[in-house]
Amino acid sequence: MRCEDILGKFLELDNGENLPRKLRQHIQKCSSCKSEIERWQGLFSSFADEDTFEIEVDFSDKIMVEISNLPVKTSSLAFLSPTKWIAIGIFILASILTVGNSDAFIWLNWHFGRNLQIPLYTVMGFVMSGYIALCTGFHLDEIKELAEIYRERI
């Protein structure tokens, strides 16, 4: 058996299995293979001596409690109070209602005709719908709580 094959054959053995006769014969003659095998055997026996690592029974519960206590990162828009959201919504609605009387819009109508009104109000409608969707999305928990309170009253 060649020196290059010895370590591979040794590592193929299962735990606690005796060395095959050919391997034993080789390491009796070859000091470098003998020291290499002894080094590996020492390493394996040091692993065997280690106490097994046991996880506490409620370890996963502790982790879940830690996770639930972590601060929740929220978007910067969520910090706007509902009052500010409503105020901004009223501003957008007031803009939609008054844009038809603005000087700029009257000037645009004078130059391009009355065909601008439909696309303008369509775009403003999309803006308002998007704003309402964002407001609802950022305050979903509060809306759910209000719905629960309303449901309990009925």
CB of 1 to Zn ion, least distance (A): 8
In the list 30, 80, 108, 120, the residue contacting Zn ion (rule: CB under 5 A) is 30
Q: Within a 13 Å sphere around the CA of 49, how many CA atoms are in the beta-carbon half?
A: 6
Smallest gap from Cβ 7 to Zn ion, in A, equals: 9
Stretch that binds Zn ion, among 2-10, 35-43, 80-88, 139-147 (CB under 5 A): 2-10
The smaller minimum CB distance to Zn ion, of residues 30 and 124, is found at 30
Could you give the 3-state DSSP secondary structure of residue 20?
Answer: coil
Stretch that binds Zn ion, among 8-16, 29-37, 65-73, 142-150 (CB under 5 A): 29-37
Question: Are the beta carbons of 1 and 26 closer than 8 angstroms?
Answer: yes
Could you tell me which stretch among 28-36, 51-59, 75-83, 130-138 binds Zn ion (CB under 5 A)? 28-36
Question: Should residue 3 be labelled a site residue for Zn ion when binding is judged by CB under 5 A?
Answer: yes
Q: What is the spatial distance between Cα 130 and Cα 143, in angstroms, rounded to a whole number?
A: 17
How far, in whole angstroms, is CA 95 from its chain's centroid? Answer: 39
Among 33, 37, 135, 138, binds Zn ion (CB under 5 A): 33
As a whole number of angstroms, the distance between CA 35 and CA 26 comes to: 12
Smallest separation, CB 22 to Zn ion (Å) = 12
Q: Which residues contact 93 (CB under 8 A, 6 or more apart)?
A: 128
